[in-house]
Structure 1
Amino acid sequence: MRTFLGFPTVDHRHVFAIALPMIVSNIAAPLLGLVDTAIIGHLPDAIYLSAVAVGAMVVSFIYLLAVFLRMATTGYIAQSYGAKDLSAQRQHFNNGVIIAVILGLVIAFASPWINDAAMWVVAPSAELEPYAREYISIRLWSAPAALMTLVALGVLLGRQNSRKAMLLVIITNAVNVVMDVVLIIGLDLNVKGAAWASLIAEWVTALIGFYWTARALQWSLPHFAISGQALRRFLGVNGNIFVRSLVLQLCMATMTGYATRYGSTLVAVNAVLMQFLMLISLGLDGIAYAVEALAGAAKGQKKPDKIRYWCKITLLWSSLFAVSYTLVFAIAGEQIVRLITDIPEVVNTAMNYLPWIILMPIIAHWSYWFDGVFIGLSMSKGMRNTMLLSALIGFMPLWWLGLPLENHGLWLALSGFLLMRGVTQAIWLWRTNTNNKSAHRAHVR
């Protein structure tokens, strides 16, 4: 059997059969998003672009908090897929659908209050606010669809069908671009057209995702049954991951928002440097998706040795990606900055913070990888608690101590936060494994 880096070549292929399509979808989404922005950006008044940017930020924040649906579904589906239990997969799908529809409708009907809260936080100009409100009001009626798509992605990834998961992401963006052309350019609907284009894209994607998952699970209406106990357990996992995502977003918002105190140049610099984190996530997310599916399936098969095996091979690739990113950023960091912006003041100031970016992949890749392991093994309590610990003993103290360092202090806090996430997750996983082994030995006796 041919081997590479100490593992059979076929197993490396298995990892990338899951990881690569998701890496491609991560690349395709922002590229299509650029077309979306370009269409809005070529309208005669800049206020339309600003309104869409504000509205999309608010809607994305809400939907990003709901990513727990994708994560929880992936873990449970992966385990029941490994156990070859189709009935359990259908039950997890049912649970996801129920939560997605109910929560989606709550978000949609609550859009007036969400709009008021968003406008209070963002505080746009009097001229901009009506357009932003209109965009948000329309877009939030796609909430049931957007959340349903998260469930479909969870099912597809849990069943190791990342090609169709990739297609769902691409379909959303492709339909959005086509509808932008029709509604914004063709019908001259400006902001309203952009909102309707995204809403249509999200509903089309949800319907396709539902069809694909129903077929994969051989699901039909008679299979739609509710188990109170299973639903409560599923809600508990989703609640833990929601807290985890909320804490993460609050730390990132603090990182971005506090920079406004140091002037508009540093806000622009941080916006540019944050694009490096997006580049990092392209590869590391793909490996995280792979370990979610593979470790989860191994747990469903009740093969702890197989869990450790897939953890080792995916950790190897996560580390290789991290080292590669660090080398690329060290060699070509300035060139990447200049590709993003050509404003001399921003470029020159960004160079002062580039060392943080060069170190970031080595520091951050642990948290990406551990997230994948925890999701695959449905360790949602661990995800919640380690995130809270990392914010309390990693981000907050370093942010406070780093205040005299201004923007360097913010990057110190972010680096410490990501490092502490990896440390706390490693300790939590080690303690869980130790406790499980002790319990197993006690049971054998």
Structure 2
Amino acid sequence: MILSNIAAPLLGLVDTAIIGHLDHNIYLGAVALGAMVVSFTYLLAIFLRMSTTAEAAHAFGAGDEQAIRQLLIHALLICIGLGVVLLSAGPWLVKLAWWLIQPSADLAELAGQYIQIRLLAAPAALINLAVLGILLGQQRSKQAMSLIILMNLVNLAADVVLVIGLQLNVIGAAWASVIAESTVAMVGLVWLRQWLILPSKWRVEPAKLKQFVHMNGDIFVRSLLLQLCMATMTGYAAKFGTVVVAANAVLMQFLMLISLGLDGIAYAVEALVGAARGRKDRQQIRHWMKLTLTWSALFALVYCLAFALTGNWIITQITHLPDVITTAQTYLPWLIALPLLAHWSYYYDGVFVGLGLTRGMRNSMAISALGVFLPAVLVSQWLLSKSNANHGLWLALSLFLLARGITQAYLLHRYKIIHQD
């Protein structure tokens, strides 16, 4: 799961690296803004992956094959319906994004083209979330990793052909991602065909579907608040100019590596704790929580050390633009410290999903986003000069991630999961 989650952000990293080596930084800025909008949209739907993992792990622990089949059908219905809605709402989504961000005309035009193309694969991208949820919940992590590696390989090959070979620039990067996402969706459904080949056994139970939708609703609110905070890092930075936008885009690749690498631990927690919940084994729940927390802390230390030693080199490999490199290096210390501050929130996300405590996830995110991140952004932008204002954004993000871990730990203590027998 660690490997699969480290591989996941390469889809954006490959696009950023290839576009970052073109001659104009507007291409990098366009892909950064466009990918931010698309990622914001898709990651709002991360509830599909998380709720599916939680319920699949519970069914796996209980040995209930019919529950997994039913879960898959429910998830696919939501994926297809929501995917069609996103595809249809593409033009309005772009208008809303530019109303909020207000980029320059040239940047908005290129990024808008990128978004419209990427949304063609919306149903496939959402299906991929459900497929990964089933695989992770069943502890089939090697297959989940294989799907993500396949997506990156297809994306890389398509980028080489479309961006470098045919010189389609931003449009080529968008089509490369569409091809990769669609390919993986088809392969994933083939791997889950054992629950799809008998339509006579498909069941939609209103009560269970309602419960599943409620779980998704809690995680949706949580994801909405999270992505609004993350979008601020790129969107608000647009006020500081294209160089800062591009530099933050480079540094956000570090954050994606941190997030999804540590989420590899969280995904393992989801599967292991969820299966123990299905077996109603409270002692095993406590065992997995303690063991995976140790690994989460160790990996956070590894990230800090790796970024301290190789951070400048990584920046230069992503882009060769001198202004962008210099600006990104200015803010690199925030990324070096971030893993130790942030790993708690990713770990506890896994615990809460595995235990099915989606309401607690929602509440902790609301406290951290509205009570910590938003005030920190407003105060820092008021106190700091324009030349240092981007430091205020990174400070707010650091405090936000730390606050998530603290509030989640407090809520879990109140639930007394560890202490009850």
TM-score (normalizing by structure 1)? 0.81
2:256 matched to which residue of 1? 278
1:249 pairs with 2:227: yes
Deviation at 1:387, TM superposition (A): 0.2
Is the contact between residue 25 and residue 167 of structure 1 (CA under 8 Å) also seen in structure 2?
A: no
**Separation in structure 2 between the aligned mates of residue 283 and residue 69 of structure 1, nearest angstrom:** 20
**Separation in structure 2 between the aligned mates of residue 195 and residue 345 of structure 1, nearest angstrom:** 25
Distance 1:142 1:388, change over 3 A: same
2:60 matched to which residue of 1? 81
Unaligned runs of 5+ in 1: 1-18, 441-445
Offset from partner CA, 1:203-229 (integer Å, 9 cap, x none): 2221211111233x4752122211111
User: SS state of the match for residue 416, structure 2?
Assistant: helix
Residue from 22, 25, 30 that aligns with 2:4: 22
Deviation at 1:246, TM superposition (A): 1.0
One-letter amino acid of the structure 2 residue matched with residue 234 of structure 1: F
Distance 1:96 1:326, change over 3 A: same
- Which structure is richer in relative contact order (CA contacts within 8 A, separation 6 or more)? 2
One-letter amino acid of the structure 2 residue matched with residue 392 of structure 1: L
User: SS state of the match for residue 167, structure 1?
Assistant: helix
One-letter amino acid of the structure 2 residue matched with residue 387 of structure 1: M
Is the contact between residue 16 and residue 318 of structure 2 (CA under 8 Å) also seen in structure 1?
A: no
Deviation at 1:300, TM superposition (A): 0.6
Is the contact between residue 80 and residue 127 of structure 2 (CA under 8 Å) also seen in structure 1?
A: yes
1:174 matched to which residue of 2? 153
**Separation in structure 2 between the aligned mates of residue 186 and residue 59 of structure 1, nearest angstrom:** 25
2:348 matched to which residue of 1? 370
Offset from partner CA, 1:225-282 (integer Å, 9 cap, x none): 1111111111111111111111111122233444455566655554444343233235
1:99 pairs with 2:81: no
Between structure 1 and structure 2, the one with the greater Rg is 1
Residue from 322, 330, 344 that aligns with 2:300: 322
1:415 pairs with 2:383: no
1:142 pairs with 2:121: yes
1:431 pairs with 2:409: no
Is the contact between residue 387 and residue 421 of structure 1 (CA under 8 Å) also seen in structure 2?
A: yes
**Separation in structure 2 between the aligned mates of residue 194 and residue 352 of structure 1, nearest angstrom:** 28
Distance 1:395 1:139, change over 3 A: closer
**Separation in structure 2 between the aligned mates of residue 342 and residue 176 of structure 1, nearest angstrom:** 22
1:358 pairs with 2:336: yes
1:214 pairs with 2:193: yes
TM-score (normalizing by structure 2)? 0.85
**Separation in structure 2 between the aligned mates of residue 266 and residue 416 of structure 1, nearest angstrom:** 21
Residue from 288, 291, 303 that aligns with 2:269: 291
Is the contact between residue 307 and residue 335 of structure 2 (CA under 8 Å) also seen in structure 1?
A: yes
Aligned residues: 416
**Separation in structure 2 between the aligned mates of residue 174 and residue 108 of structure 1, nearest angstrom:** 25
Is the contact between residue 49 and residue 132 of structure 2 (CA under 8 Å) also seen in structure 1?
A: yes
1:389 matched to which residue of 2? 367
Deviation at 1:404, TM superposition (A): 1.3
Is the contact between residue 373 and residue 397 of structure 2 (CA under 8 Å) also seen in structure 1?
A: yes
Deviation at 1:50, TM superposition (A): 6.2
1:161 pairs with 2:140: yes
Distance 1:250 1:121, change over 3 A: same
Q: Which stretch of the first structure deviates more once superposed, 159-168 or 302-311?
A: 159-168
Unaligned runs of 5+ in 2: none
Offset from partner CA, 1:384-409 (integer Å, 9 cap, x none): 10000112332233333433143443
User: SS state of the match for residue 325, structure 1?
Assistant: helix
1:234 matched to which residue of 2? 212
**Separation in structure 2 between the aligned mates of residue 180 and residue 272 of structure 1, nearest angstrom:** 18
Offset from partner CA, 1:87-142 (integer Å, 9 cap, x none): 11111111101100111111122223223333444555556656554443343232
Deviation at 1:427, TM superposition (A): 0.9
Distance 1:189 1:342, change over 3 A: closer
1:4 matched to which residue of 2? none
One-letter amino acid of the structure 2 residue matched with residue 426 of structure 1: A
Identity %: 52
Q: Which stretch of the first structure deviates more once superposed, 389-398 or 196-205?
A: 196-205
Q: Which stretch of the first structure deviates more once superposed, 143-152 or 322-331?
A: 322-331
Q: Which stretch of the first structure deviates more once superposed, 413-422 or 123-132?
A: 123-132
Residue from 100, 109, 118 that aligns with 2:97: 118
Deviation at 1:353, TM superposition (A): 4.5
Q: Which stretch of the first structure deviates more once superposed, 336-345 or 278-287?
A: 336-345
Distance 1:50 1:396, change over 3 A: closer
RMSD: 3.3
Distance 1:75 1:268, change over 3 A: same
One-letter amino acid of the structure 1 residue matched with residue 252 of structure 2: M
One-letter amino acid of the structure 2 residue matched with residue 22 of structure 1: S
